[in-house]
Amino acid sequence: MKQFESKVAVITGGASGFGKEFARIGASLGMKLVLADVQEDSLDSTVAEFKSQGAQVIGLRTDVSKAEEVQVLADAAMTAFGEVNLLFNNAGVGAGGLIWENTQKDWDWVLGVNLYGVVNGVRIFTPLMLEAARKDPGYQGHIVNTASMAGLLNPPAMGVYNVSKHAVVALSETLYQDLSLVTDQVHCSVLCPFYVPTGISQSQRNRPANMANDQPPTRSQMVSQALSDKAVNSGKVSAADVAQMTFDAIREDGFYIYSHPQSLDSVQRRMEEIVNQRNPGDPFGDKSEVRAGLIAALRG
């Protein structure tokens, strides 16, 4: 996808982090924006901000874990602008702790947003894009699914999140293959960021009341939260940097998008462990002090 002016971008998680930066670049390129977010006050202020800059933009509060709300989002996009060219399945939440300590509600919430949010976006929007391609030989579409380096590695005390993001990588790779069978006009990418300051470590603020746990967080969950806060907030690569990398990849039809390519050394070690049937090693690689800190905190 080379041309962006006057094209339509739908962005979930569009009121903060990567989503807002995707929107910022889209607006600068003359795109029409459809922003979705579960946090309505932030969404309203973001829509107002882009409107004040002259962008054509609408916003819709959307819980992406609910298929019916994603359908409403798609209907609103089609009513407002007539087609969708660029879809960012970007909304995401995080939860940590030892994997057996995660509750049913933890699993339902994280998989609902991180996995089913992408499933719902792909299932509902892809047919609209394929129909547009059938009608117009010049139509170009692209889907970007936000996964994580946690979708390629398995750091400890992040089990629910890891599972959700591995599933998004698998879904995206399959989507890439499936699209290639039926069209040359619609493509896709998977974004695998490492630690970037986006606010995801504070996603509990938007956790629905019906998904709240009855008991306080466990020791491992508190330790995981503290480590996540530290790692995310100390990230040197910004959400704006990642958004620019993503648009560059869309232009070049690149599938894998990495915020920290140097982290691929750990991915390569994991692949070699799988192929050579070695037991899993330290996913933190040369930062063994992270694992040592976790052990000390959990056993101390």
Positions annotated as catalytic residues are 161
Cα 149 off chain centre by: 11
Q: Which residues contact 51 (CB under 8 A, 6 or more apart)?
A: 57
**Strands 86-89 and 141-146: what pairing?**
parallel
3 state DSSP class of 88: strand
**How far is Cα 245 from Cα 256, in angstroms, rounded to an integer?**
11
Q: Is-contact 211 160, C-beta < 8 A?
A: no
CA 273 distance to own-chain centroid? 27
Distance CA 47, CA 281 (A): 45
Q: How far apart are CA 234 and CA 231, in angstroms?
A: 5
The answer to whether 86 touches 250, Cβ cutoff 8 Å, is yes
Contacts of 104 (CB under 8 A, 6+ apart): none
